[in-house]
């Protein structure tokens, strides 16, 4: 009987894998909401947050020196929770895209320094509350970021802000 159950499970799995079309491109079916694009100074809304990027600056003097020789870029960002519940967000989901298409996540340690020791990702944003804070991205190379991608969660479609 056990052999029959194993054989049936293997046959079902094989049929499902064989039915997959590997030539198709991924869809946005996993994302919640639609991605929104905009410019600096424009409030952009996604699933849980409204993000506004007010400024983007890179280079010496933006934040204290980065260990390992990276160059810091600081984005001044407004985050407003548009839901009726507190919402968390994560530094690894906030990204700066380079002209090459490569990206770097927010540098959580440097962001903590820029926020005077406060970990802005550790505490949820209260329902209806708005916070204004610096996010730091550590770049390796000379190219400044061309776009920021900001998200409330892993499955949020997020917003993209042109910063170049």
Which structural domains are found in the chain, ordered by start?
2-162 (2.60.40.1240)
pLDDT (0 to 100) of residue 2 = 66
b/e for 136-158, b at 16 or more Cβ within 10 A? bbbbeeeebbebbbbbbbeebbb
pLDDT score of 81: 97
Side-chain half-sphere CA neighbours of 116 within 13 A? 1
Say what the pLDDT of residue 44 is: 97
Mean pLDDT, rounded, for 90-106: 94
Place of tokens 């997959």: 20
pLDDT tens track for 7-38: 665 655 556 545 544 444 444 455 566 779 99
Q: For the beta carbon of residue 66, count every other beta carbon within 10 angstroms.
A: 18
- For 34, other C-beta atoms within 10 Å of its C-beta total 10
Query: 44, 38 in Cβ contact below 8 A?
Result: yes
Residue 56 has pLDDT above 60, yes or no: yes
pLDDT tens column, 123-141 = 899 999 999 999 999 988 8
DSSP state of 122: T
Decide if pLDDT at 40 tops 70.
Answer: yes
Question: Which residues, in sequence order, are CB contacts of 78 under 8 Å at separation 6+?
Answer: 43, 50, 51, 52, 53, 54, 130, 131, 132
* Global model pTM greater than 0.85: no
Backbone angles phi, psi at 122, to 5 degrees: -80, -30
């Amino acid at each position: 009987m056990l052999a029959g159950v194993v054989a049936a499970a293997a046959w079902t799995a094989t049929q499902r894998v064989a039915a997959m079309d590997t030539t198709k491109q991924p869809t946005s079916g996993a994302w919640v909401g639609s991605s929104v694009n905009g410019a600096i100074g424009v409030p952009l809304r996604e699933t849980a947050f409204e993000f506004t990027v007010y400024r983007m600056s890179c280079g010496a003097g933006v934040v204290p020196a980065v260990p390992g020789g990276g160059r810091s870029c600081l984005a001044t960002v407004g985050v407003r929770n548009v839901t009726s519940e507190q919402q968390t967000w994560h530094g690894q989901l906030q990204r700066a895209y380079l002209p090459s298409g490569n990206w770097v996540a927010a540098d959580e340690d440097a962001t903590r320094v820029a926020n005077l020791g406060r970990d802005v990702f550790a505490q949820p944003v209260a329902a209806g509350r708005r916070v204004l804070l610096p996010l730091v991205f550590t770049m390796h190379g000379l190219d400044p970021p061309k776009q920021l991608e900001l998200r409330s969660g892993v499955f949020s479609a997020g917003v993209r802000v042109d910063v170049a």
